[in-house]
Amino acid sequence: MKSIMQTEKKCYLCGRTQGLDKHHVFMGRKHRPLSEKYGLTVWLCNDFTPTRCHKQVHEGEHAEALQDALHRKGQEAFEEVHGNREDFMRIFDRNYL
Ligand SMILES: [Zn+2]
Ligand SMILES: [Zn+2]
CA atoms in the 13 A half-sphere facing the CB of 88: 21
What is residue 47's predicted lDDT score, i.e. its pLDDT? 76
Say if 6 falls within a structural domain: no
Which amino acid is it at 78?
A: F
Angstrom distance (rounded) from CA 13 to CA 42: 9
Say if 1 falls within a structural domain: no
What is residue 92's predicted lDDT score, i.e. its pLDDT? 98
What is residue 51's predicted lDDT score, i.e. its pLDDT? 77
What is residue 19's predicted lDDT score, i.e. its pLDDT? 93
Say if 37 falls within a structural domain: yes
User: What domain range is 27 assigned to?
Assistant: 20-91
- How far apart are the CA of 95 and the centre of ligand 2, in A? 20
Say if 57 falls within a structural domain: yes
**Ligand closest to CA 13:** 1
In tens, the pLDDT along 50-79 reads 679 999 999 999 999 999 999 999 999 999
Query: pLDDT averaged over the chain?
Result: 95
- Angle separating helix axes 85-92 and 63-81, nearest 10 degrees: 130
Angstrom distance (rounded) from CA 97 to CA 85: 9
Say if 9 falls within a structural domain: no
Number of domains in the chain: 1
Say if 12 falls within a structural domain: no
The two counts, helices (H) then strands (E), for the chain are 4, 2
Say if 97 falls within a structural domain: no
Say if 14 falls within a structural domain: no
